[in-house]
Amino acid sequence: MMDAQHVQSEQSVLFCSLSNICLDHLVLPGKPPLIDIVGGPGGYATLGARIFAASPLSKRIGWLITVGGDFPSQVKEELESWDLSLSLKIDDKQLTPRGLQHYEDESFGPVSFHELTPAFDFSPSDLLDAKVAHASAFHLLGTPEMCATYIPAIHRLRRSAGNPKPCLVVWEPEPRACRTTTRAATVKAAANVDVVSPNHLELRRLFEDDFSTSRPTAAMIEDYAQRLVAEGLGRNGDGQLVVRAAELGCMVLSRKEPARWFPAFYSPSREDVDRARFEGVEVPSHPSVVDPTGAGNAFLGAFTFELAMSNDISEACCRGIVAASFTLEQIAFPTLSRGRHGRSKETWNGIQVEIRLKEYKRRLAMG
């Protein structure tokens, strides 16, 4: 068993995503391909947390990455520059997980993804080796079966290591596993977590096989959400459901609290928002939105980090919305900049994140 001092040192890690990274090959129309771009749900979730955790707070983000012997040194240097509690596990007998992301036109809207080399299998015991088993909060993207297996295993591992304190778990259901036939398994698995967060399309697929609109209206989202919450989410049936809804922002709901909406930072025009909200039609994106890849994962990274810090779900939603906004502005990750010798605050795409957060809260106050 670990001694108390060792457990306490590991508890300094506040957040860890249980999803691995993927190195993407991006094929863009009329441009040379971009090779070995960091992506994957774990990459974007960790990015979201990091956006709101400037150094030295960034050290409270744990990142367990398993890669192959072909992992590029320049990517390793990029990840190390984020100043995280990074644990890089290299398996020389395997290839690093890679994917091909093909953008079909210059709008960067239609996109297809193909796995080039498979992701590594994850074991909860890997967390102990990486000294992140005692993190305060975890983000997990996975199937109901994975959630129902991994989360209890992590709690057992923590108890055996001398830490009986439960951890916060935010579960992002695997999109391909969101079907009407898996709803019962989803609800059962959700008993192991604190927050469940599908997007609006995944939520609809848990209840409907045939759709009358291209996207669910806000009223449909609330109806599906209320039905899912009524079936019981969380350890005591009082867990939170957070629905990420693209241009409509996000909605949070529980048995104890009514539905609350938080608008997107880059909302389309008021007319288009109303069409999406009331008619369920696809609408043009805000001009600042270049590529939505990873925005939902980044939302959950920032959301989980803040919820672990403050237990304030409204603040967590605001920070999730703002973190996602930075990922939308370009293909791949936003650019992190620091002043010389750390004398000025960090910026992402040239913007201080706290300034953008204040702007977003000002909009909320104005209604």
- 224 contacts: CB under 8 Å, gap ≥ 6: 203, 204, 206, 207, 216
Q: Kindly report the CATH class assigned to 4-366.
A: alpha beta
Q: What pLDDT, in 10s, does the model give residues 81-123?
A: 999 999 998 999 999 999 998 887 665 566 788 889 988 877 8
Structure token pair of residue 232: 């019981």
**The pLDDT of residue 343:** 57
Distance CA(221)–CA(281), nearest Å, equals 14
CB of 279 closer than 8 Å to CB of 217 = yes
Round to whole Å and give the CA distance between 342 and 349. Answer: 17
Predicted confidence (pLDDT) per residue in 136-181, tens digit = 999 999 999 999 999 999 999 999 988 888 899 999 999 999 999 9
Q: What is the pLDDT of residues 264-301, one digit of tens each?
A: 999 999 999 999 999 999 999 999 999 999 999 999 99
Q: Give the pLDDT confidence score for residue 103 in this predicted structure.
A: 83
Asked if residue 3 has pLDDT above 50, the reply is no
The burial of 30, by beta-carbon neighbours within 10 Å (0-12 exposed, 13-18 middle, 19 or more buried), is given as: exposed
Whether residue 282 contacts residue 215, with contact meaning beta carbons closer than 8 Å, is answered with yes
User: Are residues 33 and 26 in contact, defined by beta-carbon separation less than 8 angstroms?
Assistant: yes
Convert the pLDDT of each residue in 8-56 to its tens digit: 444 489 999 998 889 999 998 888 889 999 999 999 999 999 999 999 9
Mean pLDDT of 249-253: 98
The winner for highest mean pLDDT among 95-104, 127-136, 207-216, 249-258 is 249-258
Q: Which residue has the higher pLDDT, 329 or 89?
A: 329
* CA-wise closest residue to 245 among 334, 327, 320, 348: 320
Tell me how far the alpha carbon of residue 84 is from its chain's centroid. 17
Could you give the percent of the chain with pLDDT greater than 70? 93
Q: Give the residue-averaged pLDDT of 228-246.
A: 94
- The C-alpha atoms of residue 236 and residue 257 are separated, in whole angstroms, by 15
Q: Which of the four pLDDT bands, split at 50, 70 and 90, describes residue 4?
A: very low
Q: 313-327 and 353-366 are packed helices; what angle lies between their axes, rounded to 10 degrees?
A: 120
> Across residues 296-325, what is the average pLDDT?
98
* 330 phi, psi to nearest 5 deg: -160, 170
Q: Which residues contact 35 (CB under 8 A, 6 or more apart)?
A: 25
pLDDT of res. 29: 83
State the pLDDT at residue 306.
Answer: 98
